[in-house]
Amino acid sequence: MKRYTTLIFDLGNVLIDFSPYSIVSSYTNDVHTIQTLVCEIFLKQEWLDLDQGIMTLREAKERILQRLDATLHVLALDILDTWYNHLTERPYFPDLLKELKAMGYRLVLFSNAALCFHDYQNRIQALHYFDHKIISADLNLSKPDPAFYQVACEKAGIDPSTAFFIDDSMANIQAAQAFGIDSFWYNGNFDRLVDYFAKINIF
């Protein structure tokens, strides 16, 4: 049975909930406003460019406001500046990571995240157990680009053949596997993940 030494986790919808609708509903109850702001902030190219670190927050704000009615500008700016205050950490993972760390595994984060990650990372208990945190904005590369995995592994000193990757995106999983990293698609079922860990002798 293969022996893994490094466990790589995604952040959004693995360690934490990332739901744009839930986030925006923390600011307003108006359904039309929620739909509009989710679409214009989280589902357009600016969000991807922020994650990749190729656009500044100021530039993103300017472009997003150009598309929005003036009555939504203040609210949109508030969301862009503070959205991460409404992230919810998923239970069970801190205890799991603590146990894995005690067993001697290296824990590494591979996340598509904007530079503001550095402002909120310390609020997430699970991240306290990680040896390395690799985010897309720092590399100007994002998953599932094969180059992301190559550069991220180099920065964290990871041998792909002894690493195991957990992500909620099938595209990201397939790209990691193509790079030589064994992977698991996480669908939110924590017990299924733990059972699989036992099956491949991580536990």
Segment 81-109 shows an average pLDDT of 97
Per-residue pLDDT, 143 = 98
Q: Quick count: other Cβ atoms within 10 Å of Cβ 197?
A: 18
Per-residue pLDDT, 2 = 80
pTM confidence score: 0.95
Task: From 96, 169, 154, select the one nearest 130 (Cα to Cα).
Answer: 96
Rounded alpha-carbon distances, angstroms, from residue 145 to 102, 171, 178 = 32, 10, 11
Q: How far apart are CA 140 and CA 181, in angstroms?
A: 21
6-17+87-199 folds as Rossmann fold (3.40.50)
**What tens digit of pLDDT does each residue of 51-86 get?**
999 999 999 999 999 999 999 999 999 999 999 999
**What tens digit of pLDDT does each residue of 160-176 get?**
999 999 999 999 999 99
Q: What are the structural domain ranges in the chain?
A: 6-17+87-199, 20-86
Radius of gyration of the chain (CA): 18
